[in-house]
Amino acid sequence: MSSPTLPHDVLFDEGDAAPDLAVCDHYCGVEARMHKSLALQATLGPVFDVTLDCEDGAPVGAEARHAEMVAELVMSTENNFGRVGARAHPVDHPAFEGDLETLIGRAGDRLAYLMIPKPRHLADAQAAIAAVERVIARTGRGAQLPLHMLIETHGALRDVMAIAALPRLESLSFGLMDFVSAHRGAIPQSAMTVRGQFEHPLVVRAKLEIAAACHAAAIVPSHCVVTEFKDQKALGAAASRAAREFGYTRMWSIHPDQIEPIVEAFAPSVAEIDEAIEILGAAQGASWAPIRHRHRGGADTLHDRASYRYYWQLLQRARRTGQPLPAEAEQAFFGATRN
């Protein structure tokens, strides 16, 4: 008797599923904080990625040495899970080519991804990818290296649909602070706060267009920073809005105290997980044909592959956020029992 078909094998066509990325992307640019972040990742597990920052982290005039230090850390035993990326300088910065030579040439096969900030338009994004391809071809490293880009300029937002569809792109992030500054005072400072960034129409428009472009291209939309790292309640509320109202599946952290609230906000509830297991189990038993499901509240609903995809993605998000699944569910839907 053949084994039941797994959700991954029947619910998505090739290229339809988004990359399986952690819901939190933690940035650090100072060497001491990099070591602390990697130690925290070793403790909590790969529920968040670590991005080592060569843009804002590098002292002026010491960009090359900073990139070397980042490459060494990526290659070190502190990179426990292979989930450490790096942010380079913008494509028009004098240090950009040197960043690529060092980061890809030394650590390209261990880098989880490379973040390219501040493309001014589609042409900048294409030029950055072309430069990456040249370094990969010359060094023979980083053949599978994914790229992330930071949308924070007027031109990049205008071209965001085209940028999201470029090769190697795995994720786009929204750069709130630079985007607000680019409006030359026309957007008030309040639009950068934990509450105001979800209310100002121009900021809301930018967030929604980036999220829509990412989902259309089957890549990951990553939400911007929240600077109020001491107010855990406000941070959790912002992360929940990003996930549940704005369509983001990943979010930046800039302080270790932000990591766990972000992961918690993006995690599905126990009730959601239980419902997904029930529906997918019934669907699998029906060979993925439509089913009738009675919810715990008593209502009957019909489900087919369209809603199965939603529940399958919910279970994947549960795994990314470290939520425990029953061993039977791991075996039935993922083909193995998680250790």
Where do the structural domains in the chain lie, given as residue ranges? 24-266, 269-334
pLDDT for res 1: 40
Q: How far is CA 254 from the centre of its chain?
A: 14
CB within 8 A of 196, min separation 6: which ones?
188, 190, 203
Q: Along the chain (339 residues), what's the average pLDDT of each consecutive run of 10 residues? A: 75 79 97 97 96 92 96 98 98 97 98 98 98 98 98 98 98 96 95 95 98 97 90 93 97 95 95 95 94 79 93 94 93 77
Task: Give the other-Cβ count within 10 Å of 26's Cβ.
Answer: 24
> What CATH number matches the domain at 24-266, 3.20.20.60, 3.40.50.2300, 3.40.50.300, 3.30.365.10?
3.20.20.60
Predicted TM-score of the model (pTM): 0.92
DSSP labels, 49-66: EEEEESSSSSPTT-HHHH
Cα–Cα separations (whole angstroms), residue 157 to 30, 118, 120, 146: 30, 11, 9, 21
pLDDT for res 267: 96
pLDDT for res 338: 58
Q: Please name every residue paired with 85 in a beta bridge, in sequence order, or none if there are none.
A: 51
pLDDT for res 9: 87
Is-contact 240 195, C-beta < 8 A?
no
pLDDT for res 38: 98
Dihedral angle computed from the Cα positions of residues 88, 92, 97 and 100, in that order, rounded to the nearest 10 degrees = 30
Q: In this structure, what DSSP letter does residue 120 have?
A: -
